[in-house]
Amino acid sequence: MTRRIGLALTALFISTSLFAAEVPRMLVEIYHIAPGQHTAFLEAIAKYDEANRMAGLPPRQLYVHEDGASWDFLFIQPAETPPDKAAALNAAWEKLGLQTGADFFLSFPQFIASHEDTFVNGPTSAADYLATRKKKPAR
């Protein structure tokens, strides 16, 4: 019994250590939408999410402003497309007729008044993030 508990605790320690080391890099985007463009913006995002689905990727996480700050929509999504999904994602964009390159860059801004994005690590917890430190604090 003691040996089983020891093995279980060892497995828990190893899995916690692995989890702490594998915090994903994410992209957070905050949009202020141009007047009258809210529906068109969300319709465009729905098409991009459909391309993700077709490529075996999850849709962006959408947060809709309710009260407080001035933003309209916030998205959280992986910062990079996995290399093994890139070709499928490109094919899905092409199949759906989505604009890319300069065409995308010049047309997409019609929906937005302003946009901010930042790269983050998470989700995680304070304890797991602290566990990733190389130098442990003295006790």
Amino acid 136: pLDDT: 72
Q: Can you give the residue range of the structural domain that contains 131? A: 1-23+124-139
Tell me, yes or no, whether 97 and 76 share the same domain.
yes
Same domain, 128 and 114: no
Provide DSSP, 85-119.
GHHHHHHHHHHHT---HHHHHHHGGGGEEEEEEEE
Q: Is the peptide bond before 123 cis (omega within 30 degrees of 0)?
A: yes
In this prediction the pTM is 0.78
pLDDT digits (tens, 9 = 90+) for 44-98: 999 999 999 999 999 999 999 999 999 999 999 999 999 999 999 999 999 999 9
* Lookup: tokens for 52: 């993700």
Q: What is the pLDDT of residues 96-124, one digit of tens each?
A: 999 999 999 999 999 999 999 999 999 99
How many domains is the chain partitioned into structurally? Answer: 2
Q: Same domain for 81 and 110?
A: yes
Same domain, 60 and 105: yes
- Rounded mean pLDDT of the chain? 87
